[in-house]
Amino acid sequence: MHPVAMVDYYMEGKKTETWDKVTNSRIALLHPKIRQHTLDFINDAESKLNLKLRVSDGYRSIEEQNKLYDKGRVNSDPIVTKVKGGYSFHNYGLAIDVVEILDNKAIFLDDKHRKIKEIVDIAKSYGFLWGGDWITFKDYPHFEITFGYKASELLKKYNEGELDDEGYVNIS
């Protein structure tokens, strides 16, 4: 089944969509093991905090990651990532970046966002790790579920063809 068709394929009794079609389409491309966690995180932020969060970035191919990595290195743009393709959890559909949508505008999350602590608490309740906890290159909009894997281990699985029926790396 194609990942985009998966938006309605979630655990029984759980919401199968968020307030936002863009977010729903991005969640559908995530690794199947984090789709419901992501839906619940976004929906809880809306119901508990009255915030409309949008997944601004989710699954990203290794090629797309390398293009991001090149920014600020092969041109005068600012550096946006320190991670090459294959070493980001986005490359395996296990990471999301979120923004708040307020009055049809994206409000980027940072350490001064009025509800950052509450957003992070909700995300962590679903097993997400937060980029704002990183020691260097803090990434406040970033959340990931690693299932205890290092990105290098996932890259090895990917390169060895250890993929599920949908083409995602097998997570035990």
pLDDT average, residue stretch 2-24: 68
Could you give the 3-state DSSP secondary structure of residue 171? coil
What per-residue confidence (pLDDT) applies to 97?
A: 98
Tokens of 49: 């905090």
Report percent pLDDT > 90 for the chain: 85
Instruction: Count up the domains in the chain and report the number.
Output: 1
Domain annotation covers residue 149: yes
How does DSSP assign 68-107, residue by residue? HHHTTTSSSSPP--S--TTSSGGGGT-EEEEEEEETTEEE
User: Which amino acid is it at 91?
Assistant: N
Residue 13 pLDDT greater than 50, yes or no:
yes
Q: Which range marks the domain in which residue 89 is found? A: 3-159
Query: Would residue 168 count as lying in a domain?
Result: no
Does a structural domain hold residue 165? no
Residue 169 located in a structural domain = no
Is residue 97 a contact partner of residue 141, using CB atoms and an 8 Å limit?
yes
3-class secondary structure, 55: strand
CB 151 within 8 A of CB 89: yes
CATH of the domain at 56: 3.30.1380.10
What is the model's pLDDT at position 137? 85
What lies within 8 Å, CB to CB, of 144 at 6+ separation is 89, 94, 95, 96, 128, 129, 131
Q: What is the mean pLDDT of the chain?
A: 92
122 falls within a domain:
yes
The residue-averaged pLDDT of 52-71 equals 96
* Predicted TM-score (pTM) of this structure: 0.89
Indicate whether 166 belongs to any domain.
no
pLDDT at 5 over 50: no
Encode pLDDT of 122-166 as tens digits: 999 999 999 999 998 899 999 999 999 999 999 999 999 999 999
Asked if residue 164 belongs to a domain, the reply is no
98 within domain boundaries: yes
Q: Is 51 helix (H, G, I), strand (E, B) or coil?
A: coil
Looking at residue 137, the DSSP 8-state letter turns out to be S
pLDDT of the residue at 80? 86
